[in-house]
Amino acid sequence: MSSVTISSAPVVTVRVSSSLNSFTAEKRLDRGLTLAELKCKLELVVGSPASCMDLKLYSTDNTFIQNLDQDDALLGSYPVDEGCRIHVIDKSGAKVGEFEDLSRVEKYEISDDAYDKRSDSVRSFLKRNMMGKFNEAEAAQKTAEQQHKLEEERLAAGSITIGSRCEVRVTGQPTKRGTVMFVGLTDFKPGNWVGVKYDEPLGKHDGRVEGKRYFECAQKYGAFVKPQFVAVGDFPEEDYGLDDEM
């Protein structure tokens, strides 16, 4: 006869797997549940009807222990320890992965006009409380700040000429020296940018970004930085000691 272990711990954490799903869920279960009650709870986890479940118990190292086959028995009457796995065998005839296919889930759609008329929506809440994009003063302030930032960048870029020697001083990064190769607007991000050819391979590219070439340099020598981080002046090339490394 197989021995029956009864634990006094009221709650146990187990892993739950299923023949229908690829995922494993972790659940805290009351040992006072009957197996019939357990199956009802597992419906929401694996998608199988309770009446179409067979339960198998595995140890923490995935060794099969025994079947959980008495619906009126308590979960705690089985050797269900922390970390054990309860595997659900589905007998409903459902296909593997059926409950993971989101394309089968009916989507609820509502027109923008109909949504705008609802009084219980997030949009109506934001409108009533003048929050987010519905706060005209805040939106105007953000627009003004953005325009001011762009104007500062434009003025800073206007003082930088192509061919100038420069230092790139970005907060939290070491200072790098190079030559200005590009100044102006780009397609990859808004605002003004300065393209720099570093003296050593401390950059990210060869002057080409997202398929468009802005200047020519060797691979890993090119970079784009904001104008406020670029100082032009008499900056001779420094020896970074990279040629001495293997």
Which residue, of 42, 69, 99, is where some domain finishes? Answer: 99
pLDDT at 223: 96
CATH of the domain at 219: 2.30.30.190
Determine, yes or no, domain membership for 113: no
Query: Each residue's pLDDT tens digit in the chain (246 positions)?
Result: 444 444 457 899 999 999 988 888 999 999 999 999 999 999 988 888 999 999 999 999 999 999 999 999 999 999 999 999 999 999 888 776 665 555 666 677 888 888 888 888 888 887 777 777 777 767 777 878 888 888 888 898 999 999 999 999 998 899 999 999 999 999 999 889 999 999 999 999 999 999 999 999 999 999 999 999 999 999 998 765 555 544
User: CB under 8 Å to 8, separation ≥6 — which residues?
Assistant: none
Q: How many domains is the chain partitioned into structurally? A: 2
**188 domain residue, yes or no:** yes
> Same domain for 95 and 169?
no
C-alpha–C-alpha distance, residues 76 and 30, integer Å: 8
- The reply to whether 95 and 15 lie within a common domain is yes
**Which pTM value belongs to this model?**
0.43
Given 47, 70, 99, the domain boundary residue is 99
How far is residue 58's CA from residue 81's CA, in Å, rounded to a whole number?
10
CATH number at residue 58: 3.10.20.90
- CA–CA distance, 74 with 92 (Å, rounded to integer): 24
What percentage of the chain exceeds 90 in pLDDT?
56
Mean of the per-residue pLDDT values of the chain: 86
- Cα-to-chain-centroid distance, residue 93: 35
Which domain covers residue 72, as residue numbers? 11-99
Last residue of a domain, one of 99, 119, 147: 99
* Phi, psi (rounded to 5 degrees) for 24: -125, 130
CA-wise closest residue to 228 among 142, 154, 173, 174: 154
Q: Tell me the residue type at 219.
A: Q
135-178 per-position pLDDT tens digit: 776 777 787 888 888 888 889 899 999 999 999 999 889 999 99
